[in-house]
Amino acid sequence: MRLMLAASLANLPFGTIYAFSVLLRPIESLLGLQRTDLTLVFALATMVLTLGMNLAPVLYPRLALHHLLGIAAALSAAGLLITATAETLLHLVAGYGVLFGLGAGLVFTTVQHRVNQAEFARRGLVNGYVVSLYPLGAMLGAPLMGWAIAEIGLRPTLLALAATLGASVLGAAWLLRPPKHSAIATLAEAPSAEASAILAAPSGHQGQPGHRGHRGQSSQSPRSEPFEHRGLFLRLSAVFTLAASAGLMVMSQAAGIMQAYGAGLGASLAATTVITGAIALARILGGWLVDRFPVSQVMAGAQLWALSGAVLLSLWPTASAAVPCLTMIGMGYGLISGASAAAIGQWWPMALFGLVAGRLYIGWCAAAISLPLIAATLYDASGNYSTAIVLAGAFNAVALLVALRLRQTRTVSR
């Protein structure tokens, strides 16, 4: 319970990164920027977030996890303070794109890793919950931020968010302090070469000759079938990246997309809340389903669902159709996100969860600079998102085909 509370406190405020669409028009009006400019800021924040995810495992042997969370809280709060006082695009890039994004990445992987060092009967469900906290934060944050911007203005709202985020993450750091009388093992203290070798060979082959059942470690060289296993990781990464491209387009520009289809400001904010809430539930559901069904079936079904949403919105481009259809596209990403975290728990040793997750989440970089940026560019040129929705459907279709090729392995022995 203490661990889940810490995870919630750490990740929920960072979920506001997915409510970025609420800030689009206020910042455009205040600073005289275009949609493409702000999409670049969001893309940079996502890329730096991914950098933080991969930097975190390098720091685990050097910093206590609660200390790392404290540093991340300071970085992100400072980034939001700079964003709140921004006068130019460069200020937004430095504050939101770099500092806020870096802190978010350090926190996300660290919390996921720490949770996966504990024993849980339903690990997929737990991982689904942890990755659901970002869209849950967006679901709660979007209407609050929209209301606050209308009541007190953009800058005070961002200042309040900075204070809330800093206090919440510091609270999580305090909860994760190890007891003074015990030594808590941290992640991946193995040499980097060994870690990379284990990453290349998922530990799903427990019970086969030459393997022993202790947290997925093998007495046989992990390089025995590197190309086959690396292919599995690359296919998993491809599905995640393609789904994230469509999902991030919806999450980062939901309010703008709704307005482009004719919805008013209030309806757009309400739709953003519904969409992010559905994505949060989908992440939990994705992890829960992997506890019961093969990963390939869960992921293929998720992308079929998302593809259906894109097709329906292309055929019926109205504000009333946009809410359920965008929700379906977002849920496709949510299901993949929860299922991916659960798949790592099945196929790789828990001691390397943070390292594997960080590498998988590099797909966020590719996703952030692909479809969301393309969609914003198309919007600036045409004033609509119709072509972007067709592209999202194409991404989902390719992800569906790749997901069907994911080979199942045995669950890691705990």
Distance from C-alpha of 217 to C-alpha of 212, rounded to nearest angstrom: 7
Q: Which residue has the higher pLDDT, 325 or 127?
A: 325
* 323 vs 178 pLDDT, higher one: 323
pLDDT tier at 85 (50, 70, 90 boundaries)?
A: very high
The 10s digit of each residue's pLDDT in 250-279 is 877 887 888 888 888 788 878 877 887 888
Longest distance between any two alpha carbons in the chain, whole Å: 66
The winner for highest mean pLDDT among 124-133, 295-304, 351-360 is 295-304
Nearest to 175 by CA among 62, 13, 9, 59: 9
Mean pLDDT along residues 365-385 = 84
Whether 398 has a pLDDT exceeding 50, the answer reads yes
pLDDT at 116: 78
What the block records as the tokens of 50 is 């991914």
Task: Report whether 128 contacts 294 (CB < 8 A).
Answer: no
Whether the pLDDT of residue 46 is over 90: the answer is: no
Query: How many CB atoms are located within 10 Å of the residue 191 CB?
Result: 9
pLDDT over threshold 50, residue 218: no
Q: What is the mean pLDDT of residues 325-340?
A: 93
pLDDT at 228 over 70: no
CA torsion 390-392-398-403 (nearest 10°) is -140
User: Residue 351 is encoded by which pair of tokens?
Assistant: 């001691």
Q: What percent of the chain has pLDDT over 90?
A: 35
Per-residue pLDDT at 197 exceeds 80? no
Task: Yes or no: say if 329 and 247 are a contact pair by the CB < 8 Å rule.
Answer: yes
pLDDT band at 181 (very low <50, low <70, confident <90, very high): low
Does the structure show a pLDDT above 70 at 206?
no
What confidence score (pLDDT) does residue 4 get?
Answer: 86
Q: Looking at residue 408, what is its pLDDT?
A: 55
% of residues, the chain, pLDDT over 70: 86
User: pLDDT tens digit string along 118-157?
Assistant: 777 777 788 888 888 887 887 788 788 889 998 999 999 9
3-state secondary structure of 65: helix
Write down the pLDDT at residue 312.
95
The pLDDT of residue 188 is 39
Note the pLDDT tens digit of each residue in 238-250: 999 999 999 988 8
Q: What does pTM read for this prediction?
A: 0.73
Find the range with the poorest average confidence among 39-43, 117-121, 330-334, 410-414.
410-414
Per-residue pLDDT averaged across 160-175, rounded? 92
Nearest of 76, 69, 75 to residue 110 by alpha carbon? 69
Alpha helices by DSSP H, 153-184: 154-175
- Residue 339 is predicted with a pLDDT of 93
Q: What is the mean pLDDT of the chain?
A: 81
* Res 350: pLDDT: 77
Structural domains in the chain? 2-176+225-403 (1.20.1250.20)
Alpha-carbon span 46 to 53, nearest angstrom: 10
Q: 272 and 368 in contact (C-beta within 8 Å)?
A: no
pLDDT of residue 166: 92
Partners of 214 in the β-ladder: 217
